[in-house]
């Protein structure tokens, strides 16, 4: 069982470039989320999904897009990268509300 | 929205001593409080959780206490070991509501625990 798989692990982007962070889970979880982790700020929710075809904004959604065409995949798109998006990004999935969130290993993104 | 505060930000203890990390929350609707441990280079992993109908929960050397009136909850690690060294995050979630807002956890800012052998 792979759990939650994120790719890539590391990425460097130039300001203005776009890219997609991939997230896949093999636990048949309905709930998936994207968080960013910044020093001294904990984890903040970017976008989340409660099932295929359903997405919504979290606390810090600006500059990011998501889609959920399948139960397994929940990609995060950076439309036009900015230095303020330098962070570590985590994808998480859960069976249902109020249950354990399983996190991926993270993607460390640097925007120069 | 919810605001979760966590203290201290760093904590060093001698091996075998106890460690306590405290969190407060602002939204009285929050009723699920998990604790996550994050080791270097890895994603957070759940170590224990508590729901608002319970005041305390234990799992071997780890315990969590909840005071809903005061809106604070704490993580207690007894007989600390070097492998307990990690960053610990508390979180809060409101389980009930008409709209399914998924697992929108609000996390604290983390406590870096170092256990000195």
* pLDDT one-digit tens code per residue, A35-91: 999 988 889 999 999 999 999 999 899 999 999 999 999 999 999 999 999 999 999
Angle (CA) B1-B3-B9 rounded to 5° is 155
Confidence at residue B99, expressed as pLDDT on a 0 to 100 scale: 62
Widest Cα–Cα separation across chain A: 38
Closest residue of B to A40, CA-based?
B109
- What is the rounded distance in angstroms from the CA atom of residue B105 to the CA atom of residue A97? 10
Total residue count of chain A as it appears in this document: 112
CB contacts, 8 Å: A59 with chain B: 1
Whether residue A1 is predicted with pLDDT greater than 90 in this model: the reply is no
Residues B13 and B80 sit within 8 Å (Cβ to Cβ): yes
- What is the rounded distance in angstroms from the CA atom of residue B109 to the CA atom of residue B71? 17
Report CB contact under 8 Å: B102, A48. Answer: yes
CB contacts, 8 Å: A43 with chain B: 44, 89, 105, 107
Out of B45, B51, B107, name the one closest to residue A43 (CB).
Answer: B107
Tell me the two tokens of residue B26.
Answer: 């602002």
CB contacts, 8 Å: A106 with chain B: 41-43
Tell me the two tokens of residue B56.
Answer: 């305390």
Confidence at residue A15, expressed as pLDDT on a 0 to 100 scale: 98
Strands B4-7 and B19-25: antiparallel
Tell me the two tokens of residue A32.
Answer: 């998936």
- Using one digit for the tens of pLDDT, what is the confidence trace for B23-82? 999 998 888 999 999 999 999 999 999 998 889 999 999 999 999 999 999 999 999 999
Out of B6, B41, B95, name the one closest to residue A97 (CB).
Answer: B95
Place of tokens 């889970």: A25
Which of left, alpha, beta for A28 (phi over 0: left; psi -120 to 50: alpha)?
left
Residue B1's closest CA among A39, A44, A62?
A44
Phi, psi of B80 (to 5 degrees): -60, 150
Task: Kindly list the distances between the CA atom of residue A34 and the CA atoms of A63, B37, B94, in Å, as whole numbers in the listed order.
Answer: 13, 18, 18
Report CB contact under 8 Å: B46, A98. Answer: no
Residues 52 to 71 of A: which have CB under 8 A from any B CB? 56, 58-59
Confidence at residue B96, expressed as pLDDT on a 0 to 100 scale: 59
CB contacts, 8 Å: A31 with chain B: 102-103
Whether residue B101 is predicted with pLDDT greater than 80 in this model: the reply is no
Whether residue B98 is predicted with pLDDT greater than 80 in this model: the reply is no
């Amino acid at each position: 069982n792979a759990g939650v798989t994120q790719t890539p692990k590391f990425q460097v982007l130039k300001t203005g470039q776009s890219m997609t962070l991939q997230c896949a889970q093999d636990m048949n979880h309905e709930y998936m989320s994207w968080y960013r982790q910044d020093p001294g700020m904990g984890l903040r929710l970017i976008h989340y999904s409660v099932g295929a075809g359903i997405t919504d904004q979290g606390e810090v959604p600006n500059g990011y897009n998501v889609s959920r065409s399948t139960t397994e995949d929940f990609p995060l798109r950076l439309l036009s990268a900015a230095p303020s998006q330098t962070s570590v990004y985590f994808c998480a999935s859960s069976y249902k509300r109020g249950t354990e969130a399983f996190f991926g290993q993270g993607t460390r993104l640097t925007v120069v | 929205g919810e605001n979760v505060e966590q203290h201290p930000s760093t904590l060093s203890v001698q091996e075998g001593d106890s460690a306590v990390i405290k969190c407060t929350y602002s939204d009285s609707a929050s009723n699920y409080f998990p604790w996550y441990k994050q080791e270097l280079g890895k994603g957070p992993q759940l170590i224990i959780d508590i729901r608002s109908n319970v005041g305390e929960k234990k799992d071997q050397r780890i315990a969590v206490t909840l005071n809903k009136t005061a809106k604070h909850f704490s993580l207690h690690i007894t007989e600390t070991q070097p492998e307990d060294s990690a960053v610990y995050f508390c979180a809060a979630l409101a389980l009930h509501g008409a709209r399914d807002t998924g697992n929108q956890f609000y996390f604290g800012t983390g406590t870096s625990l170092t256990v000195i052998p």
